[in-house]
């Protein structure tokens, strides 16, 4: 065994999540759910959403605002009342744009500036006729929810730092911005998390859906609690599972965590989501170079945090060429590493794969934890609705999830369908608003 392959075997061992561990994590997750719901200490926030699943008969034309952290999307959506959805207009706007010289995600930007920007974008999309439109707002951060249209941001995640929003009522911030911009023809009706939107969108057509998740820049899941303690009725609960803490951390995870915006927080998210997977790979590769297991040119930029993005990992994983040309291009462009041997490029691809597999297996374990709670025997079918770039675009990711479910349930895994809920987070906001509007 060469030195590099020996070190690689060690990394593989640290990142692996065997079937027995999957089940253990699922059990810990289930226990954390129970504690969180009962208001006992838990890394799961278990936030009520004040909404159940739709009937599929909700209808109307609704404005959806989908604010996730990287961009804000505004959509004009018509629900037909028979499970169908038509998007008549949609646009996406970056929250930071170097060329246009703005960044609403830093601590030097204020909540007022951020929500004014969102209100302006709503005005660009929604026709100003005499018609009025209900608005559904997806706000993909942990919020204390007091009603379907009342949400207070607990704390930012995903490295966002905009000032003056934590602790504030997000619905009021948007309403105030709409008033400042004299946009009186849209009226906010609902605020939801993106996981809730994903669940609602899939459930609009498929009533076996009881888990919704995002595997994208961030990671989180929600589920339908059959009898919520607050209402004794079915209610979607945003678990903020990205904060789940009962998982192992390697020295690479600890290193990432120390230099993150909120050390100690969002442990699961830091091992599973698109915001961080590239950074884990960078930290591992830097340590290999620093320890002399891989050649690094003196001018390399491996020390620069977040210098490889998750899209780059997808490119690395998709490379099936004999010479691993795409892998070579990525490392040259991102880290100025131009002379790696084929063996070293292959090692890099293996590291990217191991990090992606660990992500998928940890996520699957948490979903198993939910199923342990709501249907331990898997006595009925379940659909897990997922949106996000990792699930949609990362080569192998969907298969890794399915494999983990098989490892946990064996043949029983056939009862569980994991499915893409494309644009679920935006469409779900429209469904939530229509639910409120239709019931008035
Ligand atoms: C972060 C947020 C969470 C959101 C997820 C996916 O984990 O805290 O609310 O659902 O990202 O966007």
The residue to mutate among 213, 220, 244, 421, having the most atoms of ligand 1 within 8 angstroms of its beta carbon, is 220
**What pLDDT score was predicted for residue 233?**
95
Q: Tell me if 218 sits within 8 A of 273, measured CB to CB.
A: yes
- β pairing state of 219-225 and 235-238: antiparallel
Residues belonging to the chain: 440
Q: Tell me if 120 sits within 8 A of 181, measured CB to CB.
A: yes
**What pLDDT score was predicted for residue 338?**
86
**What pLDDT score was predicted for residue 129?**
74
* Ligand 1 centre distance from Cα of residue 232 (Å): 26
Residue with CA at minimum distance from ligand 1 atom 6: 218
Q: Tell me if 4 sits within 8 A of 343, measured CB to CB.
A: yes
- β pairing state of 186-192 and 235-238: unpaired
* Ligand 1 centre distance from Cα of residue 220 (Å): 5
How many Å is the Cα radius of gyration of the chain?
22
The C-alpha atoms of residue 240 and residue 221 are separated, in whole angstroms, by 7
**What pLDDT score was predicted for residue 419?**
97
- β pairing state of 186-192 and 133-139: parallel
**What pLDDT score was predicted for residue 165?**
97
The C-alpha atoms of residue 195 and residue 250 are separated, in whole angstroms, by 28
Mind listing the pLDDT tens digit for each residue in 377-397? Answer: 999 999 999 999 999 999 999
Which distant-in-sequence residues (6+ apart) come within 8 Å of 234 by Cβ?
52, 53, 224, 225, 226, 227, 228
Burial 9-44 (b: 16+ CB within 10 A, else e): eebeeebebeeebbbebbebbbbbbeebbeeeebbb
**What pLDDT score was predicted for residue 28?**
98
The residue to mutate among 73, 140, 161, 363, having the most atoms of ligand 1 within 8 angstroms of its beta carbon, is 140
Which distant-in-sequence residues (6+ apart) come within 8 Å of 283 by Cβ?
252, 255, 256
**What pLDDT score was predicted for residue 117?**
97
Q: State whether the beta carbon of 68 lies less than 6 angstroms from ligand 1.
A: yes
Return the axis-axis angle of helices 194-203 and 424-438, rounded to nearest 10°: 70
The C-alpha atoms of residue 109 and residue 118 are separated, in whole angstroms, by 14
Q: Does the reported pTM lie above 0.85?
A: yes
Residue with CA at minimum distance from ligand 1 atom 12: 218
The pair of structure tokens assigned to 242 is 């990205």
The pLDDT tens digits along the chain (440 residues) read 678 999 999 999 999 999 999 999 999 999 999 999 999 999 999 999 999 999 999 999 999 999 988 889 999 999 999 888 999 999 999 999 999 999 999 999 999 999 999 999 999 999 887 789 999 999 999 999 999 999 999 999 888 999 999 999 999 999 999 999 999 999 999 999 999 999 999 999 999 999 999 999 999 999 999 999 999 999 999 999 999 999 999 999 999 999 998 999 999 999 999 999 999 999 999 999 999 998 877 778 999 999 999 999 999 999 999 999 999 999 999 999 988 999 999 999 999 999 999 999 999 999 999 999 999 999 999 999 999 999 999 999 999 999 999 999 999 999 999 999 999 999 999 999 999 988 87
């Amino acid at each position: 065994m060469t030195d590099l392959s020996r070190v690689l075997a060690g990394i593989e061992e640290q990142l692996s999540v065997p079937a027995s561990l999957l089940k253990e994590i699922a059990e810990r997750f289930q226990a954390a759910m129970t504690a969180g719901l009962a208001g006992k200490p838990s890394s799961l926030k278990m936030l009520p959403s004040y909404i159940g699943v739709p009937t599929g008969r909700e209808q109307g034309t609704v404005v959806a605002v989908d604010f996730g952290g990287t961009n804000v999307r505004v959509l004009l959506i018509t629900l037909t009342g028979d499970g169908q959805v038509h998007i008549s207009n949609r646009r996406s706007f970056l929250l930071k744009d170097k060329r246009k010289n703005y960044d609403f995600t830093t601590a030097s930007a204020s909540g007022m500036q951020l929500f004014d920007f969102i209100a302006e974008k709503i005005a660009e999309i929604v026709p100003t006729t005499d018609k009025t439109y209900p608005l559904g707002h997806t706000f993909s951060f942990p919020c204390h929810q007091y009603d379907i249209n009342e949400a207070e941001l607990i704390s930012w995640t995903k490295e966002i730092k905009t000032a003056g929003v934590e602790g504030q009522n997000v619905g009021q911030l948007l309403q105030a911005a709409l008033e400042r911009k004299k946009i009186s023809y849209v009226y906010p009706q609902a605020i939801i998390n993106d996981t809730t939107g994903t669940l609602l969108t899939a459930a609009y057509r498929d009533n076996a859906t009881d888990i919704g998740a995002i595997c994208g820049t961030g990671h989180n899941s929600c589920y339908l609690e059959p009898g919520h303690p607050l209402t004794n009725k079915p209610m979607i609960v945003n678990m903020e599972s990205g904060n789940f803490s009962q998982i192992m951390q390697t020295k690479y995870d600890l290193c990432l965590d120390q230099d993150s915006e909120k050390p100690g927080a969002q442990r699961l998210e830091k091992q599973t989501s698109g915001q961080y997977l590239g950074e884990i790979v960078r930290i591992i590769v830097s340590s290999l170079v620093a320890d002399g297991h891989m050649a690094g040119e003196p001018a390399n930029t491996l020390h620069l945090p977040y210098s490889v993005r998750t899209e780059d990992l997808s490119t690395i994983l998709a490379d099936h060429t004999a010479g691993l040309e795409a892998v070579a291009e990525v490392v040259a462009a991102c880290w100025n590493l131009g002379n790696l041997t084929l063996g070293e490029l292959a090692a890099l691809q293996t590291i990217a794969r191991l990090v992606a597999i660990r992500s998928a297996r940890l996520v699957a374990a948490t979903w198993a934890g939910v199923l342990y709670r709501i249907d331990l025997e898997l006595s009925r079918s379940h659909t897990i609705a997922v949106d996000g770039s990792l699930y949609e675009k990362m080569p192998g990711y969907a298969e890794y999830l399915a494999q983990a479910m098989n490892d946990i349930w064996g043949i029983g895994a056939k009862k569980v369908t994991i499915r893409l809920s494309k644009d679920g987070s935006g469409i779900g906001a429209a469904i939530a608003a229509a639910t409120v509007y239709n019931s008035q």
